[in-house]
Amino acid sequence: MPSRTNGLLAEMEAVRTLALVGPPAGGKTTLAEALLLKAGAIGTPGSVERGSTVSDFDPLEKRIQHSLNSSVMHLAHAGTRIHFIDTPGGADFLGQSLPALEAVETAAVVINAATGIEPMAVRMMEHAAKRKLARMVIVNKIDSQGVDMAGLLTQIQAAFGRECLPVNLPDDSGTKVLDCFYNREGGCSMGDVEAAHRKLVEQVVEVDAAFVDRYLEEGDVDANELHAPLEQALREGHLIPVCFVSARNGAGLAELLDVIVKLLPDPTEANPPAFLLGEGDEARPMEAKPDPSLHVLAHVFKVTVDPYVGKMGIFRVHQGTVTRDSQLFVGDGRKPFKVGHLFMLQGKEYVEVQRVLPGDIAAVAKVEEMHFDAVLHDAAEDDHVHLAALDFPIPVHGLAIEPQRHGDEQRLWEILGKLVDEDPCLRVEHVAVTNETIVYGLGELHLRVLLDRLREVYRFEVNTRPPRIAYRETVTAPAEGHHRHKKQTGGAGQFGEVFLRIEPLERGAGFEFRDEVKGGAIPYQFIPAVEKGVRDVLEHGAIAGYPVVDVRVTVYDGKSHSVDSKDIAFATAGRKAFIAAIQEARPIVLEPVVKIDIAAPDGAIGDITGDLSSRRGLVTGTANAAAGTVLVRGQVPMSELSGYQSRLNAMTSGQGRYSIELSHYEAVPPATQQQLMAQHKVRDTD
């Protein structure tokens, strides 16, 4: 038994996992294809233009020639199994990119040498740092003409910190790279290889006092002896390696594979994932140990709904060993499922395997209970284990949607349910006030792709109406409300009386319900009915038909009748008492304000900042990117961004692009509030 365990540990230590993240057009998909080819995992290279790559296998991806989904692949190099995930670069598809960070030890931010630092690179670097991943920068397309590589490295260090140090340097032709860590031979106009080596060693030894003393005494430390402090530096974010490659001509690919094997952490060397045991405020940290002999803990970071194999859960093993015969639970489910078939993925291909270990990424199919963010386990005491929640951007682009054929409403909801299962940044709700089904996404492209999937994948035609802004309602002062519901129709009557008070909470606090009824004025069995009536107002609104947020409701008194009191009576009384209180609490309508990142030619900065200011926006900063390009960061109300890409195209001759993310909610101008309230009254009248 010990020899088998030691063998599994050795196999696990020969596993690496990384996610290729960063902006669109960085060449992540082409780089993934080139790495597979270089390692011999595929025989011929695919092409994005021909729609033949391993990772972009979705028909929509092939048509628009951009990644829309994360795709899992694997290869073997130097006795090491490398799992890597190609992620979309568009900000509208963060629901695919961010979960990939849950499955890997290292986030590799891929940067296009010709375009330099872009907003998505900054955003993904920040997300990876927040999850305490090892990080690296891969500069792709080093064979591009006219690129100032030294200037680009300076930009990288300005954006991400002085910890970004090159482990290799591109030669002047862009056809090969020079090792700065191990072999350090040759030179180039970008810099001195020996100088780059010294900076690397000095950065690494800083985390270990013993190595600092040795370096000061001897003037150098053999790179082969620096494994332990190197891994510590990566864990602590004290070192972010920078590699240079060209996926098109193959420069630096072999060196990149060597860096992944030699420098990047294995599952035993990375920061442990943030598992929690229990729910809410009572949840406590729980350590998952990368030990194949312990019971299973695996995290489902991606779900796909395949028309042939059904629902598939793609998971990362953090602890234990999963085999084809394993009995696993999904989250807090009480009924286990048997792993009939266990797969590693190569794009759309399923490669069946017998077992997977900590660090491995695998998949199981035909498990209907499977859902995104579930923890798979084989021990009953782990039924409330979960990972700390990902900080997803909140979808704020809304679109009203309905089937073209009457009677297809149920099928529409079934299809939308499948799409929401696959994308945690899609949200669907039914607005009773307007009898509309609203789909919320991260941007116009996000929703356009959803409509394309409905039409092309599910053969389902829909009608849409203009985007609906996700307004909210709240109160700004405390107030009280009272309502007596009394109904007598000849038979059994209805009676319920409720007194309550409300008060505003700080923005983002949500909703609190308190029961302070004394002496049984409202019998305890009717309190849930009062809360139900209150929550009905939370959902449907009180002044403009939008959800009510950030309010505390306290029920403190009421009356009941021994015969006529019923749940429906107290639900009605609670709802109307809450509405009455809101009317007296200086209610306001809140609008979403988004953070906006704009990349555009530097000559357009004046037009862009002026346009934002004219639309109630605020510019919070600017920065230079690649030659001739500027990044503008700001905040602007969501309602002011209708048709913004068209305006940006006009200001930048079609060269500008932008991404948004919800920042906060703030009160709309009084005139806008009056307009929204008037529209709500018209709908109620209709």
The 10s digit of each residue's pLDDT in 261-300 is 999 999 999 988 888 887 777 778 888 899 998 999 999 9
Question: If pLDDT is split at 50, 70 and 90, which confidence band does 625 have?
Answer: low
Q: What is the pLDDT, as a whole number, of residue 380?
A: 62
Domain 589-671 CATH assignment equals 3.30.70.240: yes
Determine the pLDDT at residue 7: 74
CA distance 120 to 133: 17
Q: What is the pLDDT of residues 664-673, one digit of tens each?
A: 999 999 999 9
Pairwise CA distance, residues 61 & 171, whole Å: 34
Specify the pairing of strand 106-112 against strand 134-140: parallel
What's the CA gap between 550 and 506, in Å, rounded? 6
Would you state the pLDDT for residue 125? 94
**Hey, what are 288's tokens?**
């998952």
When pLDDT is averaged across residues 377-383 and rounded to a whole number, the result is: 70
640 pLDDT exceeds 60? yes
Please state, in angstroms and rounded to a whole number, the distance separating the CA atoms of residues 193 and 210.
25
* 8 A C-beta contact, residue 241 and residue 263: yes
Q: Look up the CATH number of domain 397-468.
A: 3.30.70.870
Q: Under DSSP, is residue 93 helix (H, G, I), strand (E, B) or coil?
A: helix
pLDDT of 1 higher than 50: no
Q: What is the DSSP string of 200-248?
A: HHHHHHTT-HHHHHHHHHHS---GGG-HHHHHHHHHTTS-EEEEE--TT
2-191+240-262 CATH fold: Rossmann fold (3.40.50)
The answer to which of 341-355, 464-478, 563-577, 605-619 has the lowest mean pLDDT is: 464-478
Q: Which residue has the tokens 């305490």?
A: 132
Q: d(Cα 313, Cα 341) in Å, to the nearest integer?
A: 12
pLDDT greater than 50 at residue 241: yes
Residue 452 CB burial class (10 angstroms; 0-12, 13-18, ≥19): middle
CB atoms within 10 A of CB 498: 33
Query: So what's the pLDDT on residue 40?
Result: 94
Mean pLDDT computed over every residue of the chain: 89
pLDDT digits (tens, 9 = 90+) for 580-604: 999 999 999 999 998 998 888 888 8
Q: What percent of the chain has pLDDT over 70?
A: 96
Give the per-residue pLDDT at 491: 67
- The mean per-residue pLDDT over the stretch 138-144 comes to 94
- Residue 198 pLDDT: 87
6 vs 417, more confident: 417
| Strand duo 427-431 + 436-441: pairing | antiparallel
pLDDT reading at 379 higher than 80 = no
Q: Which residues of 76-90 are buried (b: 16+ CB within 10 A; e: fewer)?
A: ebeebbbbbbbbbbb
Calpha distance 513→519 (Å, rounded): 19
Beta-carbon contacts of residue 7 (< 8 Å; ≥ 6 apart): none
Please report, for the chain, the start and end positions of each structural domain, with discontinuous segments joined by +. Answer: 2-191+240-262, 279-387, 397-468, 477-585, 589-671
In this predicted structure, the answer to whether residue 333 has a pLDDT above a threshold of 80 is: no
Of 631, 682, 641, give the one whose Cα is nearest residue 663.
641
3-class SS shares of the chain: helix, strand, coil, % to 5: 30, 30, 35
> Pairing mode, if any, of strands 15-21 and 80-86?
parallel
| Predicted pLDDT at 394 | 81
* Rg of the chain in Å (alpha carbons): 28
Q: Decide if pLDDT at 685 tops 70.
A: no
pLDDT of residue 665: 92
When comparing pLDDT for 246 and 487, which is higher?
Answer: 246
CA 237/CA 144 separation, integer angstroms: 30
Residue 497: name the closest of 512, 485, 479, 513 by CA. 485
Please write the tens of the pLDDT for every residue from 60-109. Answer: 898 988 899 999 999 999 999 999 999 999 888 999 999 999 999 999 99
Q: What backbone torsions phi and psi does residue 636 show, to the nearest 5 degrees?
A: -155, 145
With beta carbons less than 8 A apart as the criterion, state whether 540 and 432 touch: yes
Q: Residue 56 has which token pair?
A: 């972009």
DSSP structural state of residue 101: G
CATH hierarchy code of domain 279-387: 2.40.30.10
Of the pLDDT bands very low, low, confident and very high (cuts 50, 70, 90), residue 480 is very high
How far apart (Å, rounded) are the C-alpha atoms in residues 194 and 511?
A: 60
Integer CA distances (angstroms), 103 to 509, 555, 620, in order: 30, 46, 33
pLDDT at residue 490 in the model: 64
pLDDT at 627: 62
Q: Does domain 477-585 bear CATH number 3.30.40.230? A: no
Identify the weakest region by mean pLDDT among 28-32, 440-444, 546-550.
440-444
User: CA-to-CA distance for 529 and 538, rounded, in angstroms?
Assistant: 14
pLDDT band at 5 (very low <50, low <70, confident <90, very high): low
